[in-house]
Amino acid sequence: MTSKMHIKATILSPLLALVSAALVIAVALSLAGISTADVFTTLWLGAAGDSYRLSETAVKASPLLFTGLAVMLALRAGLWNIGAEGQLLVGALAAAWLGRYTTALSVPLAIATVMTASVSAGLLWAGCAAYLQQKHNVNEVISTIMLNFVAVYFVSYGVHGPLMEAAGQYPQTDPLPPAATLPRLFPPSRFHLGVLLALVAAILVWFYLFRTKAGFRLRASGANPIAARFAGIAVEREITLAFLLSGALAGLAGGVEVSGVTQRVYEKFSPGYGYTAIAVALVGQRSPIGVVFAALFFGALDAGASAVQRTVGVSSALTSVIQAIVVLFLAAYSTDPAQRLLRMDLPRPEHSLNEVDRQAA
Amino acid sequence: MEFLLALVTTGDALLHSTLVAAAPLLLAALGETLVQRAGIINIGLEGILLVGAFAGMTTCYATGSPVLGVCAGALSGLLLALLFAAVTVQLSADQIVVGVSLNLLALGLTGVLYRGIFGITGQALQVTTFSPVSIPFLSQIPVLGPSLFQHTVLVYLAVVLVPLFTFFLFHLRAGLQLQAVGEHPQAAETLGISVRKTRILALAVEGILGGIAGSYLSLAYSNTFIEGMSAGRGFIALAIVIFGRWTPTGVLWGALFFGAATALQFYLQALGSAIPYQFVLMLPYVLTLVALMLLRTRSSAPAALGEPYTRE
């Protein structure tokens, strides 16, 4: 009974938030004298108009799926990983760096090398925050934000310094050798193998969280650390593990993006994937399946917004506005007063009374 | 001798640009200090700075008055802070979530509006800006005078606020009540202090100061608006609050330190130093982490920081 209501609430809240956000945007656009219908149709056509646009949506969704999973996994252990952005950046840089030495390798080996590099870098970056949290009681929200900036400047140093392209003209790395490039599956579209890898990652994360004992321990530590400790779970270890896994996923996002899409790393490499990831995890209601849909939605928004900028002339920054309003509404709808108002989480009073009667009898 | 002279001049200019870079950080961090002392963590400060910068520039561009620009900046910051208050304080929603979305909102909104109003022009818009005010007599002091006492009004405002905030927080009844709200909201409420009202007021002050800090960026620091021009300063302000152990004086030192790193970075770049400037820029963040690591035993963070409060 309650689980059914819970499912209803987890699906209803994000949908309601989406509808509310669409309404707000529609009102704002019409106040500005812009045709709402134009914007929404262009958004839709830009995201799903033809097979090329659909593939663009998938390509944009892939880094959001990896990082969204990263944030979600950490959240399940009760952790705020605001640092997916930094982990993604160092992951990308490590991939570009090690990628240079893969020219002589076979394709699978070269790709494996690049991916391992990005996973290790992301893991290491999250490991710093995990170490500070576990050994020195440093709040992970603050430490991951700080580490994001360190990563930004580190990438800047890398592409201006030792990893700058051989031509020495632009602050960017040399393109990865062809062997280390993820194959494109449906050329001329940019749909690459990494998109499928992201889906596999989502399935693996789901399996890990809900079908293994380790996943249960992780969720228990996040849901109620005190109870978990009483049940004999080493909560600190679980949290550290979740942090590291989260960093690994975010790092992989960077590696896949370099290898599948950009081939190079440069200063503005990430348009804030790691921050959007927080929205993805929340709209996905902290579930792997939800995160897949949320990543697709935000990927579509991304792909659609560039079409809106081209044809309607509204800046693609509109994406951020929509993301923000969706999350704001979702945050508001998830609070107790709102839930009570929406009558989505209340047990029926007569039902519980009956139960009390039955127990008394 | 020549070398010494060069050193003094460089040091002098460095001190001046340190203060210039520190002022917006100080304004924003003082606001966040107040908010965190009341038990709220507002990551959305970055967004407040950004809307402040945008509103300040736009208003100044339309009216030609930088003073009106700052007022508009303050107002826009206030509005964003009140939105944060409505969702986190009134509805007790998660502060991290709302803070993150506030930043996204500011980034998107300023981007859409900027291109909507001014179009996508390659040329940056120039606006009338604040000119430095020399303080009589003090600015005449050799060497130190010009670097300390020839600044825009906003720099003086930021510095003057430090003792005022110290006095308020540690000597006034209202300030002590605000601290009680951050330490133990339940107890404060039983003493008849309204947790909600206190937190909303603290956020309002932060919004105004953050908005002013933002308009400083566009009206005194760079004379124009660039998308995303707050460039992480709101997050730096968060670091400064921790760095300064939640006290206005500590925050002043923190802001000067981060300001010095910014100023130094430009000089290193100009001088073509062997140290990559990125490492200088990185330093404050790394040092904040080190400081958090070392100072943890003397924990002075408000006890109820970040926890939503609901009245039973």
Phi (first) and psi of residue B18, to 5 degrees:
-60, -50
Which of A174-178, B115-119, B126-130 has the highest mean predicted lDDT (pLDDT)? A174-178
Tokens standing for B142? 């050799």
Q: Which position has the higher pLDDT, B234 or A352?
A: B234
Question: What's the pLDDT at A252?
Answer: 97
Which of A60-74, A317-331, B238-252 has the highest mean predicted lDDT (pLDDT)? A60-74
Is the model's pLDDT at A345 over the cut of 70?
no
Nearest CA in chain B to A81: B96
Work out the average pLDDT over A51-76. 95
B152 — pLDDT class (breaks 50, 70, 90):
confident
A332 — pLDDT class (breaks 50, 70, 90):
confident
Measured in angstroms, the CA of B79 and the nearest CA of chain A are apart by: 15
Q: Which of residues 221-280 of B touch A (CB under 8 A)?
A: 227, 232, 235, 238-239, 242, 276, 278-279
Average pLDDT for chain B: 86
A348 — pLDDT class (breaks 50, 70, 90):
very low
Tokens standing for A271? 């348009």
Q: What is the ipTM metric for this complex?
A: 0.86
Question: What's the pLDDT at B125?
Answer: 73
Between A273-287, A342-356, B110-124, the lowest mean confidence (pLDDT) is in A342-356
- Chains A, B: CB contacts within 8 A come to 144
Question: What's the pLDDT at B226?
Answer: 84
Q: Which residues does chain B have within 8 Å of residue A125's beta carbon, measured at their own beta carbons?
A: none
Is the model's pLDDT at A286 over the cut of 50?
yes
Is the model's pLDDT at A72 over the cut of 50?
yes
Mutation target among B83, B246, B285, B298 for the A interface, most CBs of A within 10 A = B285
Measured in angstroms, the CA of A159 and the nearest CA of chain B are apart by: 11
B296 — pLDDT class (breaks 50, 70, 90):
low
Between CA B162 and CA B118 the distance in angstroms is 37
Model confidence pLDDT, tens digit, residues A110-136? 999 999 999 999 999 999 999 999 988
Work out the average pLDDT over B100-120. 88
Strand blocks (E) in A204-302: none
Question: What's the pLDDT at B291?
Answer: 80
A3 — pLDDT class (breaks 50, 70, 90):
low
Tell whether B134 is within 8 A of chain A (Cβ). Answer: no
Between CA A226 and CA A220 the distance in angstroms is 9
- What is the total count of domains within chain A? 1
Q: Which residues does chain B have within 8 Å of residue A328's beta carbon, measured at their own beta carbons?
A: 83, 87, 98, 101-102, 105
A161-A164-A167 Cα angle (round to 5):
130
Q: Determine, for residues B105 and A282 on separate chains, whether the beta-carbon distance falls below 8 Å.
A: no
B227 — pLDDT class (breaks 50, 70, 90):
confident
Percent of chain B with pLDDT over 70: 93
Q: Which residues does chain B have within 8 Å of residue A39's beta carbon, measured at their own beta carbons?
A: none
Measured in angstroms, the CA of A260 and the nearest CA of chain B are apart by: 27
Work out the average pLDDT over A37-66. 92
Model confidence pLDDT, tens digit, residues B45-74? 999 999 999 999 999 988 988 899 999 999
Is the model's pLDDT at B188 over the cut of 70?
yes
Is the model's pLDDT at A1 over the cut of 70?
no
Tokens standing for A135? 């050994």
Work out the average pLDDT over A309-332. 88
Between A190-194, A303-307, A331-335, B118-122, the lowest mean confidence (pLDDT) is in B118-122
DSSP letters along chain B, please? Answer: -HHHHHHHHHHHHHHHHHHHHHHHHHHHHHHHHHHHHTT---TTHHHHHHHHHHHHHHHHHHHS-HHHHHHHHHHHHHHHHHHHHIIIIIS---HHHHHHHHHHHHHHHHHHHHHHHH-S-SSPP----PPPEEPTTGGGSTTHHHHHHEE-HHHHHHHHHHHHHHHHHHHSHHHHHHHHHHH-HHHHHHTT--HHHHHHHHHHHHHHHHHHHHHHIIIIISSS--TTTTTTHHHHHHHHHHHTTT-HHHHHHHHHHHHHHHHHHHHHHHHT-SS-HHHHHHHHHHHHHHHHHHGGGS--S-TTTT------
Is the model's pLDDT at B298 over the cut of 90?
no
Tokens standing for A188? 């001329």
Q: Identify whether A292 is part of a domain.
A: no
Percent of chain A with pLDDT over 70: 91
Q: Which residues does chain A have within 8 Å of residue B288's beta carbon, measured at their own beta carbons?
A: 142, 146
Q: Which position has the higher pLDDT, B66 or B136?
A: B66
For chain B, what are the domain ranges? Answer: 22-119+152-297
Instruction: Say which of A317, A325, A328 has its CB closest to residue B111.
Output: A317
Question: What's the pLDDT at B29?
Answer: 97
Question: What's the pLDDT at B4?
Answer: 59
Q: Determine, for residues A319 and B108 on separate chains, whether the beta-carbon distance falls below 8 Å.
A: yes
Question: What's the pLDDT at A354?
Answer: 43
Instruction: Say which of B101, B114, B292 has its CB closest to residue A328.
Output: B101
Q: Determine, for residues A321 and B112 on separate chains, whether the beta-carbon distance falls below 8 Å.
A: yes
Considering only the C-alpha atoms of chain B, give the largest distance between any 2 of them, rounded to a whole number of Å: 72
Measured in angstroms, the CA of A214 and the nearest CA of chain B are apart by: 27
Question: What's the pLDDT at B131?
Answer: 76
Model confidence pLDDT, tens digit, residues A209-226? 999 999 999 999 999 999
Q: Identify whether A358 is part of a domain.
A: no
Is the model's pLDDT at B32 over the cut of 60?
yes
Question: What's the pLDDT at A2?
Answer: 52
- Tell me which residue range forms the domain holding A124: 57-274
